[in-house]
Amino acid sequence: RPQKVCLCPFLPLHPLHISTHLYIIQHPAEESKVLRTVPLLEACLPQDKCKVKIGRRFSEERDPELSTICRKSDTLILYPGAEATNLEEFILESPIYPSTIIIIDGTWSQAKDIFYKNSLFRLPK
């Protein structure tokens, strides 16, 4: 990016200390975009706290690690929908603080496609 709009000077010098693990499920088309936020997120967080998985389809057989994460009671997925729970209400009402948050990175139609065509992503709250 041109220097006047570059965010690099504003990134932390050292990774931020967070207790939550992030799994970014990135649509393959997002990987080649010029203005991407995932590399910024990766630059700000410890490597063991931020994992990016690129693809459209995920299954228990192809990705047992993701399957295990999705089945944990303290995993959340950020996705809007009729059955979604308000995050603030969830945090206030839940005795369990989320250890893992799954985020789908893509356009709205790409995210919708990923969410609805992967039954794993309907397991977390």
Q: How far apart are CA 18 and CA 95, in angstroms?
A: 19
pTM for this prediction: 0.86
Q: How far apart are CA 46 and CA 15, in angstroms?
A: 5
DSSP state of 6: -
Q: What's the helix, strand, coil split of the chain in %, to 5?
A: 40, 15, 45
List, for residues 71-124, the tens digit of each pLDDT value.
998 899 998 878 888 878 877 877 777 889 999 999 999 999 999 999 999 888
